[in-house]
A and B are shown apart, each in its own frame.
Chain A
Amino acid sequence: MDESLRELYQEVILDHSRHPRHFGPLEHATHNGEGHNPLCGDRVKIHLIVNGNNRIQDIKFEGRGCAISQASASLMTDMIIGRTVAEAESLMGGFLHLVKGGDASDLAEDDLDRLQVMAGVSAFPMRVKCATLAWHTMKSALEGGSSAKTE
């Protein structure tokens, strides 16, 4: 199989997509966001509980989409639980650089290790929006907006 395709659909991605972590509704959410990719019709909902210390105590996502968007959402929820809002946003900045093929050196080493599975997306410019939808939606939810679009 072609190397870039193997890189895109590696086992970790497919595992996250088939068995998404933190999937479903979230009771007592303090922040909610809904993201929509108008080009493909994919939708994702992000629910967060942010406590008094600006720390993300819990996060869940719902929706349907391609393997890339589902894996990205699943990985994101897994990684930002327990972080502060500022840390989550900083992680997102590094992630966006990574999937767009830019400089992701500001990511902490263990974060980069975990996010590296998404780096294959950068070889598929048409699919970057799939990978970023959940992240944009999380940011929009944290900022108090309710919806995000990737276009």
Chain B
Amino acid sequence: MSFVPPISDFPILSRQVNGKRLAYLDSAASAQKPKVVLDAMSTFAATSYANVHRGVHTLAAESTDAYEKARAAVAKFLNAKHTDEIIFTRGGTEALNLVAYSFLSPRISAGDEIVLTKMEHHSNIVPWHFMRERKGAKLHWVDVREDGSINAAAFGAAITPKTKLVAVTHMSNVLGTVNPIKDIVAIAHAKGVPVVVDGCQGAVHEIVDVQDLDVDFYAITGHKLYGPNAIGALYGKRTLLKSMRPFNGGGEMIAEVTEDYVSYAEPPARFEAGTPPILEAVGLSAALDYLTGLGRTAIREHEHAIYTYAREAVRQFNWLRVIGDAEGKGAILSFEAEGMHAHDLATILDHEGVAVRAGHHCAQVLMERFGLGSTTRASFGLYSTREDVDLLIAGLEKARKILT
């Protein structure tokens, strides 16, 4: 394979942890940042920074220009039809909450239903629980099969005339399952139901075309895309965004404010109250350029090769059970190890320089579905190598010796 993981682009990967070479296998929680992202942010702060959309001075103009270019970069990355269909948020969580508050809340009443899956993580569950608590909505859960996949046809059965929204993740942060979004959207739209997709993992590992998928909303977060944290974005179809009430109130989202009257700006400004994450937008834009420059398909193939190498390597352990083996899944390896709790494993692996996530991964409904208290998760990114996997395997063997 021609793709060589550009490890030297990531300054943090050269550090040691507990005296060992760092094997960072927690990219699904947050990815490390390449130097081009860090440099873009620091150069921008040092040369062009000011508040955006206010003031007529040169720095204000340069900042506004950079911020809006970042919006265009996200639109291009997701293949949105219009740049104004991209709203910057503080992350994927805020993007999903925006849909709940501005889109769904005025359209849902007691007894109405929201369809979601048991593999969602909490940011695509709790906003819908708010609708249950506050509006009397019912949550309808689509089950996950034993291999971690879901059946698109199950959405057909789950959607009723009462359904107001389908909320589904593009890719599970625990199972790695990549869901058949296009099929799910077609089924939902045939019944007149809009679909919001949690793309926090999906946008990292899949090549997303929101027009082809025909999703109504798609949420992403910057820090998993090798960009900075505290920025995310929501894609929403223009007609839907225009029909939605504001989210937060404050500066920049208004058209006119008087003592007894307020009118609102058009999207996307309507949903971006206050000073937005300007430096972070510059960093995210640099991250997207970086990913595009490396080649999205090449990255995807590389990650898949590393995942497959790891998946094959753990077959030697008859005490290890992989959770999530769906066809076409992404580069996430979650597992349960007999006689070893995830936290003990993660502590021992950390001592070997191997960073993994242990716990419920903010997906307690899924944990319950599989009868698990917690799992250990190794997640791979564009900088992952076979050597990282070898360190994981050696660490697992060591943990087995210590703990059992």
Query: Which residues of chain A have a CB within 8 Å of any CB of chain B?
Result: 1-2, 4-5, 8-9, 14, 39-43, 64-68, 124, 126-127, 130
Give the shortest distance, in Å, between B350 (CB) and chain A (any CB): 9
Give the shortest distance, in Å, between B251 (CB) and chain A (any CB): 35
Size bracket of the B interface: 10 to 19
Contact across chains for B360 and A41 when beta carbons are under 8 A apart: yes
Residues in B with CB closer than 8 Å to A1 are 398, 402
B311 at the interface (CB under 8 A from A): no
Residues in A with CB closer than 8 Å to B360 are 40-41
What per-residue 1/0 map shows which CB atoms of B332-358 lie under 8 Å from chain A?
000000000111100110010000001
Query: Which residues of chain B have a CB within 8 Å of any CB of chain A?
Result: 18, 341-344, 347-348, 351, 358-360, 364, 367, 373-374, 398, 402-403
Ordered by A's residue number, 19 sampled pairs between the chains whose C-beta atoms are within 8 Å are: A1-B398, A2-B351, A5-B402, A8-B347, A40-B343, A40-B358, A40-B359, A40-B374, A41-B367, A65-B373, A66-B342, A66-B344, A67-B341, A67-B344, A67-B403, A68-B344, A124-B347, A126-B347, A127-B347
CA distance A39 to B341 in the complex (A): 14
Residues in A with CB closer than 8 Å to B343 are 40, 42, 65-66, 68, 127, 130
Residues in B with CB closer than 8 Å to A5 are 347-348, 351, 402
CA distance A130 to B347 in the complex (A): 12
CA distance A39 to B351 in the complex (A): 21
CA distance A67 to B343 in the complex (A): 8
Least CB separation from B367: chain A residue: A41
Contact across chains for B402 and A40 when beta carbons are under 8 A apart: no
Contact across chains for B351 and A66 when beta carbons are under 8 A apart: no
Contact across chains for A39 and B402 when beta carbons are under 8 A apart: no
Number of A-B contacts (CB under 8 A): 51
Which of B351, B359, B403 contacts A41 (CB under 8 A)? Answer: B359
CA distance A80 to B374 in the complex (A): 29
Interface contacts beyond A2-B351, A40-B374, A41-B359: sample of 18 additional A-B pairs, CB < 8 Å, sorted by A: A1-B402, A8-B347, A9-B344, A9-B403, A14-B403, A40-B358, A40-B373, A41-B360, A41-B364, A42-B373, A43-B373, A65-B341, A66-B342, A66-B343, A66-B344, A68-B344, A127-B343, A127-B347
Residues in A with CB closer than 8 Å to B359 are 39-41
Give the shortest distance, in Å, between A43 (CB) and chain B (any CB): 8
Residues in A with CB closer than 8 Å to B398 are 1
Residues in B with CB closer than 8 Å to A65 are 341, 343, 373
Residues in B with CB closer than 8 Å to A64 are 373
Residues in B with CB closer than 8 Å to A43 are 373
4 pairs of A and B residues whose beta carbons are closest in the complex: A66-B341, A66-B343, A41-B360, A40-B359
Residues in B with CB closer than 8 Å to A41 are 359-360, 364, 367, 373-374
Residues in A with CB closer than 8 Å to B351 are 2, 4-5
CA distance A70 to B341 in the complex (A): 10
CA distance A67 to B404 in the complex (A): 11
Give the shortest distance, in Å, between B20 (CB) and chain A (any CB): 10
Residues in B with CB closer than 8 Å to A8 are 347
Contact across chains for A40 and B347 when beta carbons are under 8 A apart: no
Contact across chains for B403 and A40 when beta carbons are under 8 A apart: no
Least CB separation from A4: chain B residue: B351
Residues in A with CB closer than 8 Å to B348 are 5, 9
CA distance A41 to B370 in the complex (A): 14
CA distance A61 to B374 in the complex (A): 20
Least CB separation from A70: chain B residue: B341
CA distance A67 to B399 in the complex (A): 12
Give the shortest distance, in Å, between B106 (CB) and chain A (any CB): 32
| Residue from the set B344, B398, B403 with the largest chain A CB neighbour count within 10 Å | B344
CA distance A138 to B364 in the complex (A): 25
Residues in A with CB closer than 8 Å to B358 are 40
| Residue from the set A1, A40, A65 with the largest chain B CB neighbour count within 10 Å | A40
Least CB separation from B363: chain A residue: A41
Residues in A with CB closer than 8 Å to B374 are 40-42
CA distance A41 to B367 in the complex (A): 9
CA distance A5 to B402 in the complex (A): 9
Least CB separation from A2: chain B residue: B351
CA distance A130 to B345 in the complex (A): 14
Residues in A with CB closer than 8 Å to B347 are 5, 8, 124, 126-127
Give the shortest distance, in Å, between A42 (CB) and chain B (any CB): 6
Give the shortest distance, in Å, between B345 (CB) and chain A (any CB): 9
CA distance A9 to B347 in the complex (A): 11
Give the shortest distance, in Å, between A61 (CB) and chain B (any CB): 15
Residues in B with CB closer than 8 Å to A126 are 347
CA distance A67 to B364 in the complex (A): 21
Residues in A with CB closer than 8 Å to B18 are 2
Residues in A with CB closer than 8 Å to B373 are 40-43, 64-65
Give the shortest distance, in Å, between B287 (CB) and chain A (any CB): 28
